[in-house]
Amino acid sequence: MFYSFYLSVLAFLLFIFLWKRKQFKHNYPPGFPNWPILGSLPHLKDADLLHFAIKDWAKKYGQVISVHLGLHKGLFVTGADNVLAALRKPEFQGRPDSHTIRERSFGQKSLGVFFSEGDHWSSSRKFTVRQLRAFGAVRTEEFMAKEIIELVDSIQDGVEQEITGLFALSVVNFFWFIIASRRFKPDDKMIKLFLAGNKSFFRNGNPKGSTADVFPILKHFDKSYQSRLQHIRKTQRLVKELIEEQRSILDKNNPVNLIDHYLVEISKGEAQNDFTEEGLIMICFDIFSAGAEPVSAAFDFILLYMVLYPEVQKKMQEEIDAVLGKSRRPMLEDKNSLHYTMAVIEEVTRTNPTAPIAVPHKCTTNTYFNDYYVEQDTMVLLDLHSLGFDEKYWKNPDVFQPERFLDADGKFKKSNILYPFGIGQRSCAGETISKNLIFLFVATFFEKFTLSLPKNAPKPSTMCDPGFTIGCKPFKAVITSRY
């Protein structure tokens, strides 16, 4: 017994020696202590809002921080210059493999658009971007006009009501119309369950991964993971049923939506064809689920800040009235005239990007970053939130000030630092269409309505709820028709 104990101690000491020797062999980034098996997890357990935690950790370790998630190597990167360099670095364009990713991808590593890599990712992204662009500005405007009419009819004028999630169904309808030329009604029980489950899925997750990702054997005891897995399965079934319905009416000579075009590609049956049934489900899943939630959350934040800053809301409405009058609805071409409105949207995006931590990247080969050695397969977590708060580029970043996005002539000026949708190869495929959607909804809503706090109500908090993406905490306001 003593002999076995002695060998165990020697093995442990040998492990520590070899690990320390490896650490000194290369110039690894500074970071948390790396404990056997657990890695740095004991130091990360309370970091629900990871972007705020990274800001604090950077004061001690610097802006490039080494971390170990169990036995998996990781890297936190913060600060505008560092994050932009990492986003553009070719060696950081991979996606990590994890238990959650394989669960959502039918046991495979690379399916869909957001979490895949390699040839499948390349062909899936090109296909998705092509379909989103094909939808076009005119169809976007027409669809939004119809959604706004239905939304307006559902709003109780002058009554205190829940604001968070106000646009959720409209956003889902927009993306699902692109996918399948269909929309859901407000009283559809299935879509109500999906919206609730989707929000829970994103709020219960964390960019640094789950217990099941670090220790797969514990997946059955991780309630949060089991809840997310249940939502994945339900969404996959929902998407599969809708695909089968679309297949039954498919006209290969006249495909009209994303599912149609993908089914046509599958039917070609070409060798090395990256188009598969599972791939279609995951592209729909990515757009339907991961695409809709951040856009809906962005609307919530814009509405929140207009309640908190009524003078900004009033100034934006005055601009909308001056440009549009009361005779027509906003159009995408009005972006070039509604400069203050664009500045308001950009400032809310700066202060509360709905994805403050980018979808995890992976180092594809041994490399150096900022003179630090980074090993192959290291998971790279990029602090996009820091792009909008780096004092090197922003004066008084904690102050809400839309005017920072206006030039001397009062024209909207885009920042060359702020990239909430990412940049480079891994930038969001739906960036343009999401920005168009946000603009049309904001301009149309505030052309028709004013938001205000209920009488004697405390101001809602700007502190966000954590998750894969963040969202504002639930709040109520009064929506009043302007005319």
Q: What tokens appear for 142 in the block?
A: 């027409």
Element (H, E) at 191: helix 189-204
Query: How many other C-beta atoms lie within 10 A of the C-beta of residue 479?
Result: 21
Cα Rg of the chain (Å, integer): 24
Residue 428 marked as a ligand binder? yes
Q: What tokens appear for 8 in the block?
A: 């165990």
Burial of 33 (0-12, 13-18, 19+ CB in 10 A): exposed
Measure the CA–CA gap between 386 and 389, rounded to whole angstroms.
Answer: 5
Q: What is the dihedral of CA 245, 251, 254, 257, to 10 degrees?
A: 10
How would you label 225-258 residue by residue, b for 16+ Cβ within 10 Å and e otherwise?
Answer: beebbebbebbbebbbebbeebeeeeeeeebebb
Q: What tokens appear for 303 in the block?
A: 């509405």
Write the CB contacts of 317 (distance below 8 Å, at least 6 apart in sequence). Answer: 446, 447, 450, 482
228 and 467 in contact (C-beta within 8 Å)? no
Element (H, E) at 36: none
Residue 368's SS3 state is strand
DSSP string, 283-349: HHHIIIIIIHHHHHHHHHHHHHHHHH-HHHHHHHHHHHHHHHTTSS---GGGGGT-HHHHHHHHHHH
151 and 475 in contact (C-beta within 8 Å)? no
For residue 183, report the phi and psi dihedrals to the nearest 5 degrees. Answer: -140, 160
372 and 62 in contact (C-beta within 8 Å)? no
Amino acid at position 295, single letter: V
CA atoms within 13 Å, Cβ hemisphere of 369: 31
Measure the CA–CA gap between 114 and 134, rounded to whole angstroms.
Answer: 20
Residue from 306, 241, 284, 240 nearest 459 by CA: 306
Amino acid at position 313, single letter: Q
Measure the CA–CA gap between 40 and 70, rounded to whole angstroms.
Answer: 7
Binding region: 428
Binding region for heme: 428
